[in-house]
Amino acid sequence: MDNLHQLTITEAHQLLKQKKISSVELTKASLARLAKVEEKVHACVTISQDMALKQAAEADKIISNSEIEPLTGIPVIIKDNMCTRGVKTTCASRMLEDFIPPYDATVIQKLKAQNMVMLGKANMDEFAMGSSTENSALFPTHNPWNLDCVPGGSSGGSAVAVAADEAIYALGSDTGGSIRQPAGFCSVVGMKPTYGRVSRFGLVAFASSLDQIGPITKTVTDCTLVLNAISGHDPRDSTSAPYPVPEYTKALIPDLKNLRLGIPREYFVEGMQKEIRTSVETAIRKLEELGAEVDWEVSLPNTKYALAAYYILAPSEASANLARYDGVKYGFSYQDTNNMWEAMEKTRQFGFGAEVKRRIMLGTYALSAGYYDAYYLKAQKVRTLIKQEFDQSFEKYDALITPTSPTVPFKLGEKVDDPVQMYLSDVCTLPINIAGVPAMTVPAGFADGLPIGMQIIGRHFNEETILRIAFAYEQATEWHKRKPAL
């Protein structure tokens, strides 16, 4: 069969189950696709070809003998901030460029339990800090829809790997939009589950109260299958929620009868590209046609403080989390010095990139004596107000609909010297992490040949409603069927 690399999880699973293809054939097709397009897009930092073929051969043995799980034998690429035993985990940083973890993250263990095939690790902004994957210490990743443009970040490599058909699906992590914004920029499906729904054990920490792992897939159905596989309580993660995981595929109903949707006006920000406003409004009207009741006049007034609060909270947590990279226990260590203090200083000077240093300094300042109350404490209070505002809106609405990003993908290098402009790329996605609620993006159109995403936000632990809305919209439109001409 031709074009095996273009299959979705659902299609590949059926063919494997019927023994029309083997996992080894599927894996070889994905590896051939990687070899063909990787030099254009630069989505991966590590390609684990031998391991992938070995895992595929093992999956084929299982397929021939028993009932198989939905992800058995299906090739995946993992963002390079999730620990993979025996495979380098670099966080796209000089600090960890030779780090090989001795254990697997919980999500990797869960995928291995389904006999996944891991093709490699995806490029990202260093330590997940960025919105364009230009902050990788290794190389920038290119958007498959236009190679001169950014793919978004920080999970840019994961989104590109799926959009360019290098992998059937990928995992990303989302601290302020790092799954949704690149998925939107690459015209694929990306979900940030409720904080606590997916274990963070083995995820290299950036901001522990905001980080969440989630799927990046070609379709909404595929997203439910990956979410089923990775969700659930994990005693090794103290923030993991002890709630049962529903069967997400049951939420995939193609109509939206009896659903109330709110459209918060604050997300249609000043300066938003007019094609994005038009496309998302057209998408919302499609949701109305599918049976949803839509209120266009919703207000979440504290949204305007989210960006400022986020850039105090996230850097403060990063400052604490990244203190462990001192050149003593693991990772990069600068040796040519006279004493340990100089060694630590030089290790951090040469090990971290500019954006990571910027955020460590911002966070250290916000947490320092005399400034803690003025900045960090105030940001925590704002966080509470933002969360309360979401909670109140969900008493009235089943979900909120917004654009995923205020712009289409911008040119590589365009915002790299202007941190504030770069930070504004995540203005539609940040509040969701602050509130800890789930949200996802689905393809909703194009402007000048570049993708536009629509974001669906739901109440805590109600991923099913979000998936139902996303599925109904996807079934009624053709956007997800378009492929970049690589």
Q: Which residues, at least 6 apart from 43, have a Cβ–Cβ distance to it below 8 Å?
A: 77, 122, 123, 141, 151, 156, 157, 158, 160, 161, 164, 166
Q: What is the pLDDT of residues 213-268, one digit of tens each?
A: 999 999 999 999 999 999 999 999 999 999 999 999 999 999 999 999 999 999 99
Least confident window among 151-155, 245-249, 415-419: 415-419
**257 is an active site residue:** no
The pLDDT of residue 311:
96
Q: Which pair of structure tokens corresponds to residue 389? A: 């505002």
Catalytic position from the list 158, 173, 178, 199: 178
**Residues 399 and 457: beta-carbon distance below 8 Å:** yes
Q: Which of 23, 131, 136, 154 is catalytic?
A: 154
Task: Please write the tens of the pLDDT for every residue from 101-134.
Answer: 999 999 999 999 999 999 999 999 999 999 999 9
- At 486, is the pLDDT very low, low, confident or very high (cuts 50, 70, 90)? confident
Mean pLDDT score, 170-175: 98
Q: Which residues contact 44 (CB under 8 A, 6 or more apart)?
A: 34, 38, 77, 119, 120, 121, 122, 123, 157, 161, 166
pLDDT of residue 290: 97
Choose the catalytic residue: 28, 79, 218, 415: 79
131 assigned to active site: no
Separation CA 61–CA 59 (nearest Å) = 5
pLDDT of residue 387: 98
Residue 60 pLDDT class (50, 70, 90 cuts): very high
> Is pLDDT at 329 greater than 90 in this prediction?
no
Q: Is the peptide bond before 208 cis (omega within 30 degrees of 0)?
A: no
In sequence order, the 6+-apart residues with CB closer than 8 A to the CB of 388 are none
What average pLDDT does the structure give for the chain?
96
> pLDDT tens, 359-382?
999 999 999 999 999 999 999 999
* Res 468 pLDDT > 80: yes
Q: Report how far apart, in Å, the C-alpha atoms of 370 and of each of 275, 311, 364 are.
A: 46, 18, 12
- Percent of the chain at pLDDT above 90? 94
The band of 269, judged by pLDDT with boundaries at 50, 70 and 90, is confident
Which 3 state secondary structure label does DSSP give 403? strand
Q: What is the pLDDT at residue 65?
A: 84
pLDDT at 190 over 90: yes
* pTM attached to this predicted model: 0.97
List the CATH number of the domain containing 50: 3.90.1300.10
Residue type, 417: D
Across-strand partners of 264?
A: 298
- DSSP character for 205? P
pLDDT, position 422: 92
Angle at 344 between CA 343 and CA 346, to 5 degrees: 65
pLDDT tier at 66 (50, 70, 90 boundaries)? Answer: confident
Say if residue 2's pLDDT is above 80: no
Active site residue 79: yes
pLDDT at 67 over 90: no
Which residues span the domain enclosing 39?
Answer: 1-486
Residue 158: predicted pLDDT: 98
Integer Cα distance of 135 and 153 in angstroms: 9
Number of domains in the chain: 1
